[in-house]
Amino acid sequence: MAIRLGDEAPDFTAESTKGTINLHEYLGGSWGLLFSHPADFTPVCTTELGAFARRKAEFDRRGVKLIGLSVDPLDSHEKWIQDIEETQGAAPDYPIIADADHRVAELYDMIHPNELATLTVRTVFVIGPDKLVKLSLTYPASTGRSVDEILRVLDSLQLTADYSVSTPVEWHDGDDVIIGGAISDDEAKERFPKGFTTIKPYLRVTPQPNR
């Protein structure tokens, strides 16, 4: 069955470019980003894994551990990493799971046969410190992901985990946020000392509270 938001991220132990890892132990109390790609030595995947490698510090700063995955074997990942470094300017310094028997891919429903018969599509799962799935995204093989968008959504997930707010369309870190509907105006005055603007009774905005 498909994994839904709020489900516990299924645990697994698997071989990776950083040795054998157990997902839940590896994450500990951190956020995690588990993402699959269709295949090693393919063009879009090479650019994606290179971009995650170049921008790993931005994930580190947010306390997010990266984990890649495809159904290629470990020796293929290890050879491909050299190409990624050569062509993209950085080698992935995060584990890439070698899921040749499709065990993890099936656990996470990463193979969509009507898109690719036996390969993983481009999935993204954000896992919270409580091991629950906070976000899932699925892209076809033909479309590379946006690291900017993934970082943007991580900023929203982490902010809204800590404060009773939500983030509007096109929100970026530093922009105003929306006050949760369950909070009364009196409570909002206490919780959001920078003040708030009532555009409609159901649409109240306040400066980002952790800034």
In angstroms, give the least distance from the CB of 3 to ligand BEZ: 22
177 contact partners, CB below 8 Å, separation of at least 6: 159, 163, 165, 166, 167, 168, 171, 205, 206, 207, 208, 209
In angstroms, give the least distance from the CB of 29 to ligand BEZ: 33
Residues 160 and 179: beta-carbon distance below 8 Å: no
CA distance 17 to 92: 9
CA distance 68 to 145: 13
Of 72 and 155, nearer to ligand BEZ (C-beta) is 72
CA distance 88 to 74: 20
Of 17 and 120, nearer to ligand BEZ (C-beta) is 120
Of 38 and 68, nearer to ligand BEZ (C-beta) is 38
In angstroms, give the least distance from the CB of 195 to ligand BEZ: 48
CA distance 175 to 167: 9
Residue at 140: amino acid letter: P
Catalytic choice (45, 64, 66, 177): 45
In angstroms, give the least distance from the CB of 10 to ligand BEZ: 24
Binding site for ligand BEZ (CB under 6 A): 38-39, 42-45, 141
Active site residue 25: no
CA distance 118 to 45: 16
Of 150 and 178, nearer to ligand BEZ (C-beta) is 150
In angstroms, give the least distance from the CB of 184 to ligand BEZ: 50
Of 27 and 69, nearer to ligand BEZ (C-beta) is 69
CA-closest candidate to residue 96, choices 79, 109, 108: 79
Tokens of 125: 């799962």
Which residues are catalytic, by number? 45
